[in-house]
Structure 1
Amino acid sequence: MAAAAAGSSKWEWMAEVEEKLSEADASVEVSGWWRHSIYRVPACIKDLNPKAYRPQAVSLGPFHHGDERLRPMEEHKRRALRHLLRRTGRPLREFAAAVEEVAEELHGAYRGLDAVAAEWCGGDDEGGAKFLEMMVVDGCFLLEVMRAAGAASGGNFVGGDYAPNDPIFSRHGVLYVVPYIRRDMLMLENQLPLLLLAKLLTVEAAKPANDDTVNRMVLRFLSPSPPLPPAGAGLGLHPLDVFRRSMLHGPYHTPENTTHHAPASDMDIIRPATDLHEAGVRFKKSATDSLHDIRFRRGVLSMPAMSIDDATQCTLLNMMAFERLHAGTGNDVTAYVFFMDNILRTAKDVALLDSTGIIQNAIGSDEAVAALFHGAVPSDAVIEPENALLAVHRRANAHCRRPWNVWRASIARTTYFRSPTSVVTFVAASIVVLMIVVQTIFTVVSFYKG
């Protein structure tokens, strides 16, 4: 009998595969992938810098819910919910009902959610209730935090119903605690779908929330003076998606005769800023702060200003992870970071771009800025061959390969010409030698004519 049981179990996996095969529907599988927009960062990415993907102050959504390190904020979440309910006069049941209408869509936004914890399993009534509770509590908390930050800048508090010494929602809390919440909001594993916020705002205002209003509310909180997304762009997927799109507004400035599909090679990787400068390239701050506003034209490399602070690398890494995991997003941020990693090889490169206003260093040394970009580019980084920024690599390098610019760069690298005084002396001596040569020629010609 034992042998028969063993033989039966030997084929169980085949029966399971065949059962799934009969149930398979390609269209359902495709639609399932498109629903996902919030991901667990895989170990192959996370292990390079684990802290960059782990929230430090608050859990938003299910992936870090219950983390003991973040538990202190749970009390403030419940308190924020009570304040919102008291101020709006709307019953909690209305908010819960509105979120429940889109619970399946919210659940589907998180890829691999059921595998993370059985408590979030949408098919279980208890699990579904816990997921609904978490969405309402986290969503209302986030709305209150964003309002507190906006109101505190004007000396007020949200609705005037928070104490002036409130640890989170006072001016003190906005100054000392909210920056950590803001950073956590830009971590890929710590996202809330903006559909959730739209539903909560709809109940609160008793009218449908406008997509543009939701996008701008989130963006104003994440960035002090962001370029607002164009009207009609549609509701963002989550805060990280909206913030990323705000950095990529407008098209690339691509010359008409540029071919995007040429394969990259070692010659296509742009040279460090100091090498470009020695070859006669001038650097100029672009008119906008869009990462698309990078161009090389007539020896001038225009680049957007970038403020570098303690949160920069973390934010860039999470946007790059999102590009890597979410099909159809493109990899424009990854291409930009790859570009900057190559152009900022040393502290001297950073100092050069700092002097033109392209780099605004808020983390200290120039070495730290260069190291920040080096640490953000994994060894297996992939740039899509049609990315327009590769054309800038090629055009800048083509400029440096022209004979005059090669000669100029070799002269600039000579130790003798490193100081301005040496250059002036060289030019003056060259002029004197040239005058002597010209005078000699005239003397010889006059002698033969005489």
Structure 2
Amino acid sequence: MISDRREQKWVAEISEILDRQLEIEVEIPPAVSIFQIPEIITTKKPEAYKPQHVGFGPYHHFQPGPYSKMQQKKLVRLQRLLQNHKIADFRGVVVHKVKKLVPVIRACYDSFLPDDNVSMAWVFAIDGLFLLHLFQVTNTDSDQIPKVDSTKRLLAQDIMMVENQIPFMLLKEINEALHSSSPGSNDFSPSIYRSFSEIHSPLKLCPLSKAPTNHVHHLLHYMYHSIINNVPTPTFDSVHLPVPGRMTKILLPGIVNFVEQLPTDEIVRLYELAITSLHNFSSIGSGTTIPSASRLQSRAGFQFHSLPENGGGVESVYVNGNTIYLPPVTLESDSDVILRNLVAYETLMPHSDHHPLAEYASLMCGLIVDVEDVRVLKQHDIIRGELGEDEVAEIFVGMSGSILSSKIKSKSALQNMIVEVNKVYEGRPRIMAYLFLKKLAKWVLVFLTHIGSVVGGTWKIVAFVAGLVSLVMLTYKNYCDVYGCDKKN
């Protein structure tokens, strides 16, 4: 006998959930598809993953902010839809039908949902009707994508968030309840998401014939697979160029003689300054996957071109000669949030070691580090939309820290393309000279750090290495005088 009331309630709820799940026959059990996003992804911009205006489903429906602001609007939409279908008994026709499905819907969430089935049924019925009405009024047969005001884009941001997804099976169940008087006339499919996805997706969707039709989990799942369903294009053969340079033999003896004559305290100061300078110089550009667009264009002669209208999407990026072909991306005020949640959803999907959207996003984060890069890509019709150059740069610079790296057995076509582009870029004489200086700086940094920790009084050795540091920095200065160095270097 359980004496604790909380434990009694928990056992009763678990028992009811299991009984209901055993009662309901489902051809294919639902996969976990609605996740609470881990802090490692959300930490830099949490507002991009937590709804700011409207909460859907058990994760956010009852939150005070979104719930209180949008609850009345949900009820107005609900009333309008019920009136259109001449339904007076909302509880009996819709809520009762949804309640039977709640135990199965629970399996779609990655966390245990403590609310009872009755409360959950009301939440799902209200939220599901709101979304169903929204998708229905958004659907249009026109080939032209309508203009959307800022208020609707704010709403779209919340609707597209991973934690705010509502299962497709729920919308289908509600739609069947609305058409219960004429079941034969009801034709409901994931294409209900099509128009909304076309309006708000930053990337072009695949043709309707290739869009997902079976086992669609929710709106985000539909948009994601509509973006991904494209075939990649083969990469190109790389070109390698020779490396120049021989300044070391001329300058080294004089610098070492000068440094050896310095007093010990000056050598110590020079040693500490050298450590700082070497660390700063050798870490420039570390962690980037590909040089920025403006550097590729100005320093390696690369050009950019948008893929043709039917040329594919994120897995169709390729290089032909010195031209990089990229899918056009249309960026509006809601695109940052939508892109982030699409990438997060891809990352969190179970049993997946294929992350093409995350790879594409990482590529764009490497290509765009400031407004000059945006300007280059806009000139070639790769960046589209109403956002300004600074706003576009802010999207990709900000997103770079929210994309988790994944371990895969073999490189994708896009990763191989990046390797080939880097080979060509790093084969340019001016870049090879710069990279040689960086490698030299790293070697000297390791050696100088080791000397400083174990040698102690042997300051002639320290003086020699510090002189070598001065040589590296002087060589770098001369390199910049000849070839130019910007803030990206």
TMscore range, shorter length? 0.5 to 0.7
Distance in 2, Cα, partners of 1:33 & 1:415: 66
| Identity of matched residues, % | 20
Range with bigger deviation, 221-230 or 280-289: 221-230
Letter of the aligned partner of 1:378 in structure 2?
A: G
Equivalent residue for 1:95?
Answer: 94
Q: Secondary structure at the match of 1:338?
A: helix
For these two proteins, the number of residue pairs brought into alignment is: 351
Equivalent residue for 1:216?
Answer: 194
Equivalent residue for 1:86?
Answer: 83
> Unaligned stretches of 5+ in structure 1?
1-31, 121-126, 155-170, 259-265, 419-450
* Cα offset, 1:44, TM superposition: 2.5
Deviations 1:46-71 (A, max 9, x none): 22211111212211111111222121
2:327 pairs with one of 304, 310, 313? 304
Q: Is the 8 Å Cα contact of residues 294 and 304 (structure 1) preserved in structure 2?
A: yes
* Cα offset, 1:370, TM superposition: 2.4
Deviations 1:227-272 (A, max 9, x none): 44425642421111212222222122234999xxxxxxx7993222
Map 1:36-47 to 2 at 5 A. Answer: 36-47=32-43
Equivalent residue for 2:302?
Answer: 281
Specify whether residues 219 and 269 from structure 1 end up closer, same or farther in structure 2 by C-alpha distance, changes over 3 A only.
closer
Q: Secondary structure at the match of 1:348?
A: helix
Equivalent residue for 1:346?
Answer: 370
Q: Secondary structure at the match of 2:53?
A: coil
Q: Secondary structure at the match of 1:242?
A: helix
Specify whether residues 101 and 257 from structure 1 end up closer, same or farther in structure 2 by C-alpha distance, changes over 3 A only.
farther
* Cα offset, 1:305, TM superposition: 0.9
Deviations 1:189-208 (A, max 9, x none): 11111111122223334246
Equivalent residue for 1:167?
Answer: none
Distance in 2, Cα, partners of 1:105 & 1:390: 39
Map 1:137-176 to 2 at 5 A. Answer: 137-150=126-139, 175=149
Equivalent residue for 1:400?
Answer: 425
* Cα offset, 1:341, TM superposition: 1.1
Q: Is the 8 Å Cα contact of residues 340 and 399 (structure 2) preserved in structure 1?
A: yes
* Cα offset, 1:376, TM superposition: 0.7
Letter of the aligned partner of 2:192 in structure 1?
A: V
* Cα offset, 1:134, TM superposition: 0.8
Equivalent residue for 2:109?
Answer: 110
Q: Secondary structure at the match of 1:62?
A: helix
Map 1:47-446 to 2 at 5 A. Answer: 47-70=43-66, 71-90=68-87, 91-92=89-90, 93-114=92-113, 118=114, 120=115, 127-150=116-139, 175=149, 177-205=151-179, 206-207=183-184, 209-216=187-194, 218-220=196-198, 222-223=200-201, 226-229=205-208, 230=210, 233-255=213-235, 269-277=289-297, 278-287=299-308, 288=311, 290-329=313-352, 330-360=354-384, 362-364=386-388, 366-378=389-401, 381-385=404-408, 386=410, 387-402=412-427
* Cα offset, 1:33, TM superposition: 11
> Unaligned stretches of 5+ in structure 2?
1-27, 239-285, 436-478, 485-489
Distance in 1, Cα, partners of 2:384 & 2:313: 15
Specify whether residues 247 and 405 from structure 1 end up closer, same or farther in structure 2 by C-alpha distance, changes over 3 A only.
farther
Specify whether residues 221 and 282 from structure 1 end up closer, same or farther in structure 2 by C-alpha distance, changes over 3 A only.
closer
Distance in 2, Cα, partners of 1:371 & 1:180: 18
The structure whose RCO (Cα within 8 Å, separation 6+) is larger is 2
Q: Is the 8 Å Cα contact of residues 334 and 383 (structure 1) preserved in structure 2?
A: no
2:31 pairs with one of 32, 35, 38? 35
Distance in 2, Cα, partners of 1:405 & 1:307: 35
Provide the aligned C-alpha RMSD in A: 3.7
Distance in 2, Cα, partners of 1:368 & 1:221: 20
Which TM-score applies when normalising by structure 1?
A: 0.68
Q: Is the 8 Å Cα contact of residues 268 and 397 (structure 1) preserved in structure 2?
A: no
Distance in 1, Cα, partners of 2:191 & 2:141: 20
Deviations 1:164-209 (A, max 9, x none): xxxxxxx99x845332221111111111111111222233342464
Specify whether residues 398 and 233 from structure 1 end up closer, same or farther in structure 2 by C-alpha distance, changes over 3 A only.
farther
Q: Secondary structure at the match of 1:393?
A: helix
Distance in 2, Cα, partners of 1:321 & 1:315: 10
